[in-house]
Each structure stands twice: as C-alpha cells, then as structure tokens.
Amino acid sequence: MSEAAIAGGAVAADPKRLAVASQWQLMWWAFKRHRAAMIGLWITVILYVIAVVPGFFAVNDPAKQNARAAYHPPQALHLIDTAEDGSWSIRPYIHPYVLKRDPQTLASIFTPDTTKKVYLKLFGQGFEYKVLGLFTASTHLFASENPNQPLFFFGADRLGRCVYSRIMEGAQISLSVGLVGVLMSLSLGVLLGGISGYYGGRVDFVIQRVIEFVLSLPTIPIWLALAAALPQDWPAVLNYFMITVILSLTGWAQLARVVRGRFLSLRTEEFVTAARLDGASEGRIIFRHMLPSFASHIIASMTLAIPAMILAETSLSFLGLGLQPPTISWGVLLREAQNIRSIATAPWLFAPGAAVVLAVIALNFLGDGLRDAADPYNK
C-alpha cells in the first residue's frame, strides 16, 4: 500500500525521468548508495588495471636477481624535499641504503645513507616490458632518476628481487585465474542449472544429485590430487590453464544451484506463461524472456565467486602444487614466506598476502553491493 503511494507520488513528481530509467540505471542508483561497494568497485578497477599492465606499475624487472640486495628492507618514500636553505618542494625521493657486513656473523646490514637522495620520476623510463605479449614499452609510473640505484618499496627477497614489482606482476595471474575460472564455471553452471530448472522432473533429479556429489567432495584434497597429476614439464601457459579448469570443476556447482533456483521461480511467472501462449519457442523463452530477469543476479554471484577462486589458486600455489616458479602469482610469492627465517629477518615477504586480502575484500564488497542492487524492482 505504502509502496503504491510512493511509486505514484514519484511518478507524479518527475514522470519523464522515471519512465525512461532502464533496469541498469535503477541498479546503478541502488548500487551507488552502498558506500563499501563503491570503494570495493574502485579498488577492483585499479587492481584489474594493474593486472592488465603490471610492467607499467613495477619499478624493477620482477625477474631480475641482485645478489647485493638480498633481503633488502623496504625503503621509506619521502614526498617533501627540503633544500639546505630551508625552502621546500614536493618531489618524492628515497635515501639509498648502504650494505655493510657484520664482521663477526657476516650478516648483511642495510643502513640508509641520509646524505644522498635518489629522486623519483613520474612516467620515467626503466626496464623494458611487454604489454599483454603484444608490444614492448619502457615507460613506468615511477622510475628512479638514477638507473644504477634500484628502488625497493616493499623490500627484496632472498635473491634480491623487488617484492613490490613482483606483486604487481603476480596480480596478472592471480586476478585473471579468478576471472577465467569463474567464466568457465559460469558456462557449466548456467547450462546445467538452466536445464535442471527449466525442464525439471527426472533431468532435474539427476543433475541435482551430481551437484550434491560435487559439493560433497573435499575441495583441497581433490585440487591437490588433480594438481599433482599434472605433468611437471608442461609449459607455464598450459599449466595455468589446467589449474583454472581444476578450480572451476568444483566451482560450477554453486552457480548451477543459483541458476536452477531462479529458473524454478521464474518458470511459474505469468509472463513466462504469456510468452508460451504467444507462441515463443523454448529457446526464445529461455534466452529472451527468462535470462534477462536474472542476469544481474548471475553477475552478483559471479563477483562473489571470484574471491573464492583467487584464494583457491593462492592456496594451491602456496602448497607448491599450483603454479610453479618462474611463473609469478601471489601464491607463488607467498611460498617465499613459508619458513621461520623469513618471519624473523624479512617480514615484508608477507606483502603478497596483504594484496590477496585487499583483492578478496574489495571483490566481496563489490559482490555484496551488486547483489543488493541486483533487483531494483523488488524493493
């Protein structure tokens, strides 16, 4: 009743605008009200931009080893440069670190040399990288003005490789595994869930039992077993592809259930009966009449499934059964932090873990907001 009053009043207030607001516009209005989801959206967009061109955001070649920089600690970034005469300007710089050896233990000791400054240059030139394997570039967001003085924002690992640059590089694989894996589970899930929900009866019974079987499998041991069965000498690309297939083999079941539920509830809607009586074919009923009604729900469930995929890839790679070095993913990077020594001497090796947490939380917020906004009519 009150709803009717609201709708009626709103139409009277601004008839033209309300009349033309499409479904996606309504969704966007509902989504914008969800602040956490908006933050999640921005972080997700930034992360995926990084995943497309990680080289642009990296400062050092992620594969380059530097014996003199082993376990180099993170360098503090100074933004305001104060000159000797007291005047100041915004010009980011860092103090270079000097390597000394403890005379007794021969352990390396890095101390900042505060007399020297290495300035950073926006859009400066640095190492060469490939953009999506298509063309090469050498422009970076940040570059050291002195090419001989490398920068280590997040420190370096035991081989002196830049952790920051490796996180940027790892984003590409870790984030795309989620996307590709979810797309694969989506096609399986929509197909099987759709058949199950639309036709019902015996087909539905069989598919439901299969879904229950898949969901009852303990995922980690199954992943481990399947990943262990992959030949070690396969090329990195094929290995990556197989890992996503393995992840999506268990991920489709949840999506299939969502799709089946939507089909079941839509099947009895009067507009579907109306379409059948109009003489529309089964395919047209499914794709033209039913699918658009829950496309938004599917997008929301997908967004919520991506973080699970990212975590799965990270876990597999962390356990050493997923992707293998020299391929760089966040899980592979975290393997460096597997032993007690790294916790003691180089805690910055956990930085890829922070990246995983950030990505997963951002995607969860985004998915939550999408789910809430998914049905602007049923408010």
Contact between 212 and other proteins per CB under 8 A: no
Residue with smaller CB distance to other proteins, 2 or 232: 2
Q: Among the candidate windows 22-30, 134-142, 188-196, 256-264, which touches other proteins by CB under 8 A?
A: 22-30
Q: How far is the CB of 37 from other proteins (least distance, A)?
A: 18
Contact between 282 and other proteins per CB under 8 A: no
Q: How far is the CB of 30 from other proteins (least distance, A)?
A: 10
Residue ranges in 25-44 that form contacts with other proteins under rule CB under 8 A: 29
Contact between 281 and other proteins per CB under 8 A: yes
SS (HEC) of 144-196? ECCCCCCCCCCCECCCCCEHHHHHHHHHHHHHHHHHHHHHHHHHHHHHHHHHH
Q: How far is the CB of 182 from other proteins (least distance, A)?
A: 23
Q: Considering only residues 11, 46, 206, 217, which one is a binding residue for other proteins as defined by CB under 8 A?
A: 11
Residue ranges in 237-276 that form contacts with other proteins under rule CB under 8 A: 269-271, 273-276
Contact between 2 and other proteins per CB under 8 A: yes
Residue 212 CB partners (closer than 8 Å, separation 6+)? none
Q: Considering only residues 289, 330, 364, 374, which one is a binding residue for other proteins as defined by CB under 8 A?
A: 289
Q: What tokens appear for 53 in the block?
A: 């061109």
Q: What tokens appear for 259 in the block?
A: 């799709």
CA distance 156 to 68: 10
Q: Considering only residues 60, 293, 303, 317, which one is a binding residue for other proteins as defined by CB under 8 A?
A: 293
Residue with smaller CB distance to other proteins, 139 or 273: 273
Residue with smaller CB distance to other proteins, 127 or 199: 199
Q: Kind of pairing, strands 118-122 and 142-144?
A: antiparallel
Quote the crossing angle between the two packed helices 219-229 and 236-267, to the nearest 10°. Answer: 140
Contact between 280 and other proteins per CB under 8 A: yes
Q: How far is the CB of 196 from other proteins (least distance, A)?
A: 22
Size of the site for other proteins (CB under 8 A): 36
Residue 363 CB partners (closer than 8 Å, separation 6+)? 40, 44, 178, 303, 304, 306, 307, 310
Contact between 202 and other proteins per CB under 8 A: no
Residue with smaller CB distance to other proteins, 147 or 292: 292
CB 99 within 8 A of CB 108: yes
CA distance 205 to 221: 27
DSSP β-bridge partners for residue 81: 89
Contact between 1 and other proteins per CB under 8 A: yes
Using left for φ > 0, alpha for ψ between -120 and 50, and beta otherwise, residue 106 falls in: left
Footprint of other proteins on this chain (CB under 8 A)? 1-2, 4-11, 13-14, 17-20, 22-23, 29, 269-271, 273-281, 284, 289, 292-293, 377
